[in-house]
Structures are given as C-alpha cells and as structure tokens.
Structure 1
Amino acid sequence: MNSMVDTGVVAGPASGRTRRTHRFRGLAATGLIATLAAMVATTLAAALAQAVGVDFEIPDGGETIPLPGFAVVTGFFSVVGIVIAGALLRWSARPAQRFVWTAVSLTVVSLVPPLLSGADTATVTALIGLHLVAATVMIPTLARSLRTRTD
C-alpha cells in the first residue's frame, strides 16, 4: 500500500544563508559609500587646513604629507573598519555595540602617532582633527548598518 502525506511544507532556499549574505552585502555597500564620503571629507578638510597655513610637514625626514595621501590612508583604514564590522556581524551577538567600542578604541589609539610625530602644533591639531573627521563619518554609519541588519 502506497500512501503519500502532503504536509504543505515547501522546500525553499536556505534562508539563513541568504539572509546572512544579504546582510554582508548591505554592510559592504554601506561601508564603501561611507568610505568614499570619509575620503572626500578628510581630503577637503586637509585642503582647507593647508589653505589656512597648516604645512603637514613631519620633522622625521622633513617630508610634507600630500593631499592624496589623506584620501589613501583614510580609504585603507576605513576598509579595515568594514572588515572588522563584517567579522563582528558574523561572530558577535551584539555587533553594533562591539563595533562602536572597538572603533572608538582604535580611533583613540590612532591619535597617538600625531602627538608623537614632533610636528608643529598646527599640524598635530589638524591631523587629530582629520582622524576625528573620518571616525565621525565611518563609525556611526557602520554602527547604524549593523543595528538595522541584525535579527
């Protein structure tokens, strides 16, 4: 005797994996847009600082930081922030909260090199300000993205 019971359940795509992929893609897209915004903001702020007389000369070697250098360094470390956010999204129960703590801590640590550089006060102040500009763009944007993408 052959009998077939229809339970009404239909197999679909692995929703957990699809949802996670969507969350990562959304975080990456938001992060890359924020990275571009941070790069533009820091470069414009550096140009403004130069316009008012900040020379961005670092005494060790006497080199001056070029404007494109601000965009490159901001872009690199912003992508590092996106990777950290992605890791926390994957492995943390509270990714937004942990990301904010991690990112703020790393921002504070990033303020030390300008203070130790031996540059003049205007350059040190401008460099610290530029670190804070990038953090102000990236940290809230990624934290908000992590909050809206959690289950």
Structure 2
Amino acid sequence: MSATTPQTRPTSSLSSARSTRSARLLDTRPVWLVGVLATLAGAVVTEAFGLIARGVGVPMEVASPGATEAAEIPVGGFFGGVLFWSVVGIVLAVALARWAKRPARIFVVTTVVLTALSMAGPAVAPHTATSTQIVLAVSHLVAAAVIIPVVARRLSHRRP
C-alpha cells in the first residue's frame, strides 16, 4: 500500500463492530435494565407507528368490550400501553433468569404466545373501524419485534 492511501475500515465492518460492542454491553447488564431499555425502545417505535397510522388517516378510536361507543386513543397511548404491559415481560424475564434452566427459550415461547393472544383484543373490539383494528394488532407485533429479541439475547447469557 502506498503512503498516501488512507487506512480505513469499510463502513459495514465499522457499524458491525459498533453493534457487536453494543450487544456485548447489553449482555453484561442486569436483566431488569435490559428489559427497561428494550421496553423504552419498543414503546418509542410503537408510538411512532401509531402516529404514522394516524397521519395517514386511520381513525384512532376504539371501544372496549361492553362499551356503547368508541373513544379516541390519545397521542402517547401506544407508548403507555407498551410500558404498562411490558412490566409483565420484565418480571417474567427476571424470574426466568433466576430460576429457569433455559430462560431465553422459555421467554421467547411464552412472550410469542402472549403476543398472539393479545391480538385477539383488537380483533373483537366493538365499534372500532377495521383499519384501526389492524393497526392495533400490528402495533402488538411491532412492540414484540423490538422487545423480545433484545431481552432473549440477554437471557441467553447466564449472568442474572
């Protein structure tokens, strides 16, 4: 190589090194902290998804079973919902890290089943537009897609 040729790493290997460093950092943190960080990321992404849906005209009004009319989902509603329900997942992850032989596998199976069951809520929501039901169901998948892999990766490393 000549003295004038810059010695740089390709961009892909640089970003790969950063993501590897970040993953290792999360692998050494307490399970509860990784759960909280994953939850915050999932809540932000899910709220952004909800805002985009709202921006393209999906009505954000939903009714609970037994309600006579739909009420508007407020801005921040997706974020708050993810935070609320993720507490269950964090408690589950901490318990599995402490007592399970294969915590990552049990966590993934359990949370995927719970995510699938959670999609029944939007499907049966009365007085709710079909487009809203679809957005709500997909928002459950969005949150799960962000949170579950991060927590499962942490659980695959035995340190609680």
State the TM bucket, normalised to the shorter chain.
0.7 to 0.9
Equivalents in 1 of 2:115, 2:28: separation in Å?
23
How many Å separate the matches in 2 of 1:95 and 1:149? Answer: 9
| Structure 2, unaligned runs of 5 or more | 1-26
| Whole-angstrom CA distance in 1 between matches of 2:60 and 2:158 | 40
Q: What's the TM-score once normalised by structure 2's chain length?
A: 0.75
2:129 to 116, 120, 126: 120
| Aligned residue number for residue 85 of structure 1 | 93
> Partner of 1:66: helix, strand, or coil?
coil
Does the 8 Å contact 1:24/1:86 carry over to 2? Answer: no
How large is the Cα RMSD of the aligned pairs?
1.9
Q: Which moves more between the two structures, 25-34 or 104-113?
A: 25-34
Match of 2:15 in 1: none
Give the match for residue 116 of structure 2.
Answer: 108
The CA distance in 2 between the partners of 1:149 and 1:56, in whole Å, is 42
User: What do residues 21-59 of structure 1 show as CA deviations (whole Å, max 9, x unaligned)?
Assistant: xx9962111111111101111111000000011112124
Residues in 1 aligned to 2:28 and 2:85: alpha-carbon distance in whole angstroms: 19
Equivalent of 2:156 in 127, 147, 150:
147
Q: Distance in 2 between matches of 1:99 and 1:47?
A: 29
Q: Who wins on radius of gyration, i.e. which is larger?
A: 1
2:147 pairs with 1:138: yes
Select the residue among 45, 55, 60 that pairs with 2:59.
Answer: 55
Task: Structure 1: give runs of 5+ residues left out of the alignment.
Answer: 1-22
Q: Distance in 2 between matches of 1:115 and 1:62?
A: 14
Aligned to 1:45: 49
Deviations 1:89-122 (A, max 9, x none): 1111110000011000100110001000031111
Secondary structure of 1:148 counterpart: coil
- Are 2:33 and 1:33 equivalent residues in the alignment? no
Give, in angstroms, the shift of residue 123 of structure 1.
0.2
> What is the total number of aligned residue pairs between the two structures?
129
Q: Which runs of 4+ in 1 moved over 4 A?
A: none
Compare the two structures and name the one with the higher helix fraction. Answer: 1
